[in-house]
Amino acid sequence: MEFIEYPDSDIMMITLANQIAGELRQALTGGERASLAVPGGTTPGPVFDSLCAADLDWGRVDVMLTDERWVPEGNPRSNTRLVKSRLLTGRAHDARYIPLYAETPEPEESLDALSQGIAASLPLTVCLLGMGEDMHTASLFPGADRLAEGLSGSDILLPMRAPGAPEVRMTLTANVLNGALHRHILIIGAGKRDAYERARLLTAEHAPVAAVLRGATIHWAEK
């Protein structure tokens, strides 16, 4: 585990985008395809703004979310909407998008089909994660109904309902997140740094992000 502190978030976002582009490029040198999982939420937009312009063979890159809110793409809370507008644009428009959402009322109805779609892109080359101050990552929330399976089961994908999440989620499991060749966690602000420090001392049941810290690089800026 490595913790990198940046002088400000602008520098952090550009540096991280360059690093991710380099990791994908390296994978494409040695292999046919590369895969990238990214979070939604409010933090990663500026990384996407830089990364979408990276000079690499995007046509051989699979892009997916680490987790999705179970809402249609037209909903402002849709993470797919964010990824399509900020990452799969510019040069990255050629990437192949692997969805974590389908238009069924409940995620359970689409679970098998979506899991199959993801399986061919595993293991992930790069996994970028966010974290909440409640120490959730992806949609592995404290108190979530299927958290135990999400932390230690062998599934690829799981629906998740949690007190801290306003809508039903679909999330990659710790099994998939930890299978990534490169894992980055992106956090901003004193509150998230405190949460990260606390998570290091807790079990994943109480601090789910603890399940993915080993071998990860944490990127932090105060603002």
Ligand X SMILES: O=C(O)[C@H](O)[C@@H](O)[C@H](O)[C@H](O)COP(=O)(O)O
| Strands, E assignment, the chain | 2-6, 34-38, 61-65, 67-69, 96-97, 126-129, 157-160, 169-172, 182-188, 217-221
> For residues 76 and 91, what is the distance between their CA atoms, to the nearest angstrom?
24
Judged by CB under 6 A, the stretch of 11-19, 125-133, 198-206, 211-219 that binds ligand X is 125-133
- Least gap, CB of 193 to ligand X (angstroms): 13
Tell how far CA 146 is from the center of its chain: 18
Judged by CB under 6 A, the stretch of 8-16, 41-49, 116-124, 203-211 that binds ligand X is 41-49
Q: CB-wise, 130 or 150, nearer to ligand X?
A: 130
Can residue 35 be called a binding residue for ligand X (CB under 6 A)?
Answer: no
Can residue 138 be called a binding residue for ligand X (CB under 6 A)?
Answer: yes
- Least gap, CB of 148 to ligand X (angstroms): 18
3-state secondary structure of 17: helix
What is the DSSP secondary-structure string of 84-115? HHHTSSGGGGGSEE--S--SSSSGGGTHHHHH
Pick one of 22, 41, 45, 143: the residue that binds ligand X (CB under 6 A): 41
Q: List Cα–Cα distances, 3 to 82, 134, 202, in angstroms.
A: 27, 19, 18
Pick one of 28, 37, 39, 56: the residue that binds ligand X (CB under 6 A): 39
- For residues 83 to 112, the per-residue mask of contacts with ligand X, x marking binding by CB under 6 A and - elsewhere, is ------------------------------
Binding site for ligand X (CB under 6 A): 39-43, 66-67, 69, 79, 130-132, 137-138
